Amino acid sequence: GLASIKVLDQKGEIVADASRELPGGRRTREGPLSVFGHKLGRMEMIFSTYEGDQRIRGIHGLYLGLTVGFILLGAAGAFFLSSSITRPLSDLIDGTRKFGAGDFATRVPVRSGDEIGELGTVFNAMAGRLERFVSDLLQIQEYSAELSSHLVQEELHATVIRLFMKRLMVRRALLLIKE
């Protein structure tokens, strides 16, 4: 706002003065005062920059608030974006470790249809096939052990029968000799 107006004559003496105190800084404008081409003196106007400063401070505050808000929003967005990438990868790493430790029933959750989700789907399919393969191998091992046990028992029976037959033959031979 306008803080003061001073009219000075040609000698620089104040002819009229309408001043009031306003807070803030000052800005001065001055120029010649003439009427119908006759130079009467000069006019000096002083403006307060307080209202403008207040508006600028308000705008700075608004911009600062918006900047901080956008930074926080960007940080939150980055956090959620990175979580959406790292969580499925962590699940896949955990599943791979469990599978490598012998937990063949391990599957990983598939939360998306992107490349990471596709990797999880492929892992789960591979884990299913390997689980069935390991299960089949364990079954074959059981059958082999059972068959081996039967073969050992049959071999034992055959050996007992052979020994029995030899003994029987020895007794017959002894009886024949005695006769």
pLDDT in tens, 150-172: 777 888 888 888 888 887 787 77
The b-or-e profile of 44-54 (16+ CB within 10 A means b, else e) is bebbbbeeeee
Three-state secondary-structure class, residue 103: coil
Among 98, 148, 142, smallest CA distance to 123 is for: 98
Report, in angstroms and rounded to the nearest whole number, the Rg of the chain calculated over CA atoms.
52
Counting every residue written for the chain, the total comes to: 179
Report residue 133: phi and psi, to 5°.
Answer: -60, -45
Angle at the Cα of 56 from the Cα atoms of 51 and 61, rounded to 5 degrees: 125
- Does the structure show a pLDDT above 90 at 107? yes
Give 30's strand partners. 44
Q: How high is the pLDDT of residue 22?
A: 61
- 3-state class of 35 per DSSP? strand
Mean pLDDT on 133-141? 88
> For 57-88, how does the pLDDT look when each residue is reduced to its tens digit (9 = 90+)?
889 999 999 999 999 999 999 998 888 888 88
**pLDDT at residue number 123:** 92
Give the pLDDT confidence of 27-65 residue by residue, as tens digits: 677 788 888 888 888 888 877 777 777 788 889 999 999
